[in-house]
Structure 1
């Protein structure tokens, strides 16, 4: 092989090596955008599959929600037809719970129970609220709160404030009781919605 032919093959080899090095250096610049697009496509495909699965369950979900609403209408709402009657029932239930937690009123007493109007209510469900203040011992306070929030129809305790006291007076007792809590909260439940979207007044 002549000297000229050897030089040509050497130049061709060097050119190929240079092209390989250049391709290796430039490959990340081209490959990274394509990899990002592939990852985005895979993510969208998985999301589409999840949404299609949820759409297939739409009928079952709607049936379950209808069953829960029907059951709730029957037993989870206050049974009284008007806010006034529901408020009276709420106060009576509070008195019963406090009496059960502290027989004879020795460890817990109702200081105040005031119905409050929830202004600006909108929607299908109307809330009936009583503002409550108790003076109770620690154990009686826990018993009262637990009994109220475990009741059926459902009752809720909101805006709870508890202040420790060194002594507190118990009705019917000449001597103040040592220790205890001054407890304030809002007790509320919901009136049962009626047909046509109207609510009890």
Structure 2
């Protein structure tokens, strides 16, 4: 093979290498992003299919909820339509729970219960909160907290603070109780959302 032919083959090889490199660069610049977009589209289509399937179940879910409410099933939300009424009902329920946990009012008493005006009530679910202070024995404290957090509609205890006392006075009783706890917490529940996303009260 002559020198000219060798140079021609070498030039063709270099040209083929340059073309391959150009194709690889073009693939990384153009085709690879399109492949990523195709994968994203497939993922969104699968998610859309799942959401459409859930939306198709909406009538059955609404029928089931209506049947439960017609049977008088307890709601997860406070039954009262306004924050003021819900606050009063929350305090009454607290008083019942404390009375049930303390025979004759000797082992546990409510020292203070103050409604708290919740800030930032722009969300659909409006919270109704009462700040509570109790003086109770150990067993009564556990009974009260358990009864409140296992109630329906759902109630929640937050910002719980407990400090031990050597003696404590139960309001209405002249005799000091030995031992016990000074308990503070916020008790809250949620109003049922109004149709269309509004809030009561």
TM-score (norm 1): 0.70
Report 1:123-162 matches (<5 A). Answer: 128-158=128-158, 160-162=159-161
Judging changes above 3 Å, is the alpha-carbon distance between structure 1 residues 28 and 175 closer, same or farther for their aligned structure 2 residues?
A: same
How much has 1:21 moved relative to structure 2? 3.0
How much has 1:189 moved relative to structure 2? 3.8
Q: Which moved more, 1:165-174 or 1:80-89?
A: 80-89
Unaligned regions of 5+ residues in structure 1, if any? none
Q: Does 1:9 align with 2:8?
A: no
Judging changes above 3 Å, is the alpha-carbon distance between structure 1 residues 57 and 35 closer, same or farther for their aligned structure 2 residues?
A: same
Check the 8 A contact 2:135/2:181 in 1, yes or no. yes
Check the 8 A contact 1:79/1:191 in 2, yes or no. yes
C-alpha RMSD of matched pairs (Å): 3.8
Distance 2:194 2:17 in 1: 79
Q: Does 1:45 align with 2:10?
A: no
Of structures 1 and 2, the larger Rg is shown by 1
Q: Which residue of 2 aligns with 1:167?
A: 166
Check the 8 A contact 1:135/1:181 in 2, yes or no. yes
Secondary structure in structure 1 of the residue aligned to 2:24: helix
Judging changes above 3 Å, is the alpha-carbon distance between structure 1 residues 27 and 84 closer, same or farther for their aligned structure 2 residues?
A: closer
Distance 2:39 2:84 in 1: 59
Distance 2:181 2:105 in 1: 15
Unaligned regions of 5+ residues in structure 2, if any? none
Q: Which moved more, 1:184-193 or 1:149-158?
A: 184-193
TM-score (norm 2): 0.70
Report 1:31-180 matches (<5 A). Answer: 31-33=27-29, 34-61=31-58, 63-65=60-62, 67-68=64-65, 71=68, 74=72, 75-76=74-75, 77-79=77-79, 86-116=86-116, 128-158=128-158, 160-171=159-170, 172=173, 174-178=175-179, 180=180
Distance 1:47 1:120 in 2: 34
Distance 1:200 1:7 in 2: 95
How much has 1:9 moved relative to structure 2? 2.8
Check the 8 A contact 1:97/1:147 in 2, yes or no. yes
